[in-house]
Amino acid sequence: MRGRTTVFHRAAVAVHERLCLPENLPSLSLPIESWQECQRLVRLIEKARHENLSAAVSRMEADLAAAIQRVTGPLHDYERAAASTKSRGRSTTRDVLADLHALASEFDDFSISVNRHLITVRTDAVVLESVDLGRFEIVLNWHLLNETGAYEVIAMDERPAAASDDTTHPHVQSNSLCEGEGKVAIRNALRDGRLYDFFVLVRQILHSYNSSSAYVQLDEWFGISCPDCGSTTTDDDSNHCEGCSTTTCCECSSRCNDCDDYFCSDCIRTCTGCDNDTCSSCRSLCSECGDGFCKGCLDHERCSLCHESEQEETNPEVVTTAASTV
């Protein structure tokens, strides 16, 4: 118990030291040229007043006001940024230590590696809409508190989506969490050193599901069932029908010869003239016989067979013999 208290205290001190490091303030470039312009205008204004040039004085005073703004503006911005940094309520060493003890009570599996600057918790099994995704590790590197990639979310039970081995949760890809609406709260917790709030927020997101921001939908987690043949396939080995938005396997989908889009068997037909697959948008009916044809097999909305029949009716063949010619 004493050893654990020592580790907790060492970690709390290290985290607080990291929090106390000066943050990056905006770069300050002293407005020397604007200040020199102010000095020049002041001299000209004094000279114009001495010579009673009131119009020139008014004009140069307006120029002086603009030059002063160019001097004071950057200085005020820097002053506000510095004041904001000082006023932030960061956790004290005692606060961090209290958070560590609270995390040890909140999570059954909790560990600290002072040498590696890591705090690790393990969640219970995450089950979303009857899909068991297993347990996850949330690993925080306190040396990166104010940087991107300060923590990772690692799947422990290896149950990735069928379509992507790197997607272990609808909102976790390559060990990186899509924070969604919790992004600001997580960033603030890390910035202020509120470790308990951070871990609980991440766990809450892992136990939540938002279909609009998921890397892989839960109903497709184990693959996609083809409605035509019933086989299970992945998104990479399937096609989305442009006609009805149905997803079918590659074997059950066909590509339109005219537009090159893919369609299911219900949304594509064979051209009567050339036997090519044609979708409903690219297929037209012959105005004469009513059969369906692709664009290349119709001439003035009529198929070649109907054109030939018309020519035979209007130009009957005349059979002549040598005798009649004589």
pLDDT at 25: 47
Map out the domains of the chain as residue ranges: 21-87, 93-213, 232-314
User: How many of the other CB atoms lie within 10 Å of CB of 120?
Assistant: 19
Q: Tell me: the pLDDT tens digits for 248-280?
A: 777 778 888 878 888 887 888 888 778 788 887
DSSP letters spanning 157-196:
S---BTTBTTEEETTEETTEE--GGGHHHHHHHHHHT-HH
- Please determine, for residue 322, whether its predicted confidence score (pLDDT) is greater than 60: no
Mean pLDDT (the chain, rounded): 83
pLDDT band at 220 (very low <50, low <70, confident <90, very high): confident
Angle formed at CA 265 by CA 262 and CA 269, multiple of 5 degrees: 85
Q: Which two tokens stand for residue 263?
A: 């369609």
Give the SS3 label for residue 119: strand
Where does the chain have alpha helices with state H?
2-19, 32-50, 54-87, 93-106, 183-192, 195-206, 304-314, 322-325
- Residue 171: which of 141, 139, 130, 126 has the closest Cα? 126
Q: Do 128 and 116 touch, CB atoms closer than 8 A? A: no
